Chain A
């Protein structure tokens, strides 16, 4: 199959390197010797998927075991898909060019809702029946994990099971169990027995073992296990200590330019700043930091094994790492001769972060991005952003003084309680930043030109957050706000861009959706929806048609304001954060009351630490910089 594809197909597609699979550090194992074979599927392009740290972690974890094998597959771009279909070729794994059907397990990572149609498309391209109930033992088990697995209900019909939480905790347990249930001369897994067994493992959710009943108004009456042996609530898996957790130091080095083409050094996991819209901040709790020695050692090995020219210190908020300053100093010292740069993917809105950026960007100066998220102090307090205008102005002043001339500001519209003033506040803030920049450039007698980019997304309520009780703004209202802002931002130094509100609407529908949405997904896919997050392929009208045909009202999911008592479709999936705490946070939001970060203040009792028997793991207490 490889020969045929390399000679007849690859020369005809754009960027054939995406499908080449022979990158440095890729692992090519003896198919016959592996006892359980899994394909890790990323339902988007190679360039996007290869920038995902989780893939590299699981790839190393499994392939380090002699009896197991993990290969990769990405969504093929449409030209590749067309050729595969025309030649009647099934979707294949990159390493061994084997049809996905031949694997024991097919694992999808669920990173964003708008990749769901790509999952169906990939199954179809692989010749695998879409619905789990239609797949006999001769097809692979299909599993999903990642952030969207915290509400996988719209996908429940298509998957055999889901992993809730840190996958490096549980993946080997899954594969060992699969090994025990391989049987007969065909060597396929006895799925029924396997699922019965695995459903009792913590962090594993087998949707067919849970029954959902609906009430008269279309909401959920209850979600109950169908037999007493599976847990009523599936509790997430969590790595207690990142220092002892598996970390790959020989990641695959892609040839092609990927979205994040650099070494990813994960300095900490979790964030307890409690931005009330942020799902990651809730599902990845508690905060666990790696110690500096471990990080330095990993960084050295990573550079030696990959040859990358840049190390990105990744996490939800790296400037919060309690030892960030000494860490950066020692990394810079270590790599100064080899010209390895350091980067921070996300900056906090304060002067401290700008100082860090200054220090690490002595070599390469790229643009700076800050995320005040909302235009007025009141609204920033509603979302608990914990950032003041003063913080922002200090930060941008520092940045302009240090020679940066392009600054990007991230905002959201459609946040709960938002008024016209809040939207106008975004423009005001942008002009203040521009004015500050002009002043500083004038002082420096600099002739450089300034650029402020205002990037505005639409708020999407997500499961497991304080804002799960919030109704999303209707599409037309979001569009009006976008246009209003456009009318206010008329300056040649300001660039304004915003996301398609219709896409945000569908995102909300699926983020808060239930099992009834499975048929909508299938219908939309059958009508040609795929690569929805790529604007050239997004077919909104087709989506609406699909909803109509299935007799389902998407607005029910996105625009309704659920009560506290309402049973959510994800009620049986437990992150450790209590519903009571989330609701309290929602109430505080409506009062614009702040909640402080538990790293630096008292514990407000989200419940994770006690409930999951974990704790915050900080290298140094209370010195993470100014809050």
Chain B
């Protein structure tokens, strides 16, 4: 038995994969690689594989994580090498390390996520004007957006979950933003929700459908510090 943590990227065309499709793509890549997957018991055996978090359809990501169990113990480098050759275009493994059996599930550990967003502005705005709009948004006591919940529309408070939000550049009508938000099973803020708040509450106008969102990192909390799950 071996347990592994893998860091991977989801770019270009693969960004359109849903979470389920992503899981399936990995399972198939593992089988093509001839890696001895461990399976769950029961009527519908699944490979023992768990992902850190689901990234939305259309969003690219430089750093995603998954934990994997194998029936045999291989070197981490071997796992990495084999997977490199069998992943479909758009998915790429960055690194892999062995983890001890007692490390808690990835999903339970994730605390925050970082994103870059590019917005096609509908008005001619300068960086200063955007900085201003963001500052006004963050100064509010409450940042509430409406999201589609299971039982119809729900209000969602974002205020506590936005750790960082700033404009890094404005270029040819596109604004570049960086945001760090709460993520994981103890509360999750989606980048689209922050953008919605910018549009509705800060009155920043851009074409929401054309927003390009890229996840640059996922973090776990180690003694009060946000660090990569690979550490």
Q: Name A's B-contacting residues (CB within 8 A).
A: 6-8, 10-12, 15-17, 20-24, 253, 255-257, 303-309, 337-340, 363-365
Contacts and interface: CB of A to CB of B under 8 A. Distances in A.
Contacts of A304: 32, 34
Interface of B: 12-14, 16-18, 20-21, 24-25, 27-32, 34, 36-37, 39, 43-45, 47, 57-58, 71, 86, 88-90, 209-210, 212
Contacts of A7: 210, 212
B28 A307 contact: yes
Contact of A305 (B18, B32, B90): B32
Given A17-B16, A364-B44, A11 B58 contact: yes
Contacts of B43: 363-365
Main secondary structure of the interface of A (DSSP, over half): loop
Contacts of A16: 16, 57-58
Contact of A339 (B12, B25, B32, B45): B45
A10 B209 CA distance: 10
Contacts of B86: 24, 307
Contact of A306 (B32, B39, B57, B209): B32
B31 A338 contact: yes
Nearest to A17: B16
Nearest to B28: A307
5 contacts: A24-B86, A255-B21, A255-B24, A304-B32, A363-B45
Given A253-B28, A308-B28, A364-B44, A22 B88 contact: yes
Contacts of A12: 209
B32 A255 contact: no
A256 B17 CA distance: 8
A38 B140 CA distance: 59
A23 B88 contact: yes
A22 B90 contact: yes
Contacts of B212: 7
A307 B37 contact: no
A579 B152 CA distance: 62
B21 A339 contact: no
Contacts of B57: 16
Contact of A307 (B21, B31, B44, B89): B31
A24 B14 CA distance: 11
Most central of A17, A23, A305 by chain B CB within 10 Å = A17
Contact of A8 (B32, B47, B210): B210
Nearest to A2: B13
B17 A17 contact: yes
B36 A337 contact: yes
B27 A307 contact: yes
A546 to B, nearest CB: 36
Given A7-B212, A255-B17, 18 more contacts: A7-B210, A10-B16, A12-B209, A16-B57, A17-B13, A17-B16, A21-B13, A24-B32, A253-B88, A255-B21, A255-B24, A303-B31, A305-B32, A307-B29, A308-B28, A308-B31, A338-B37, A363-B45
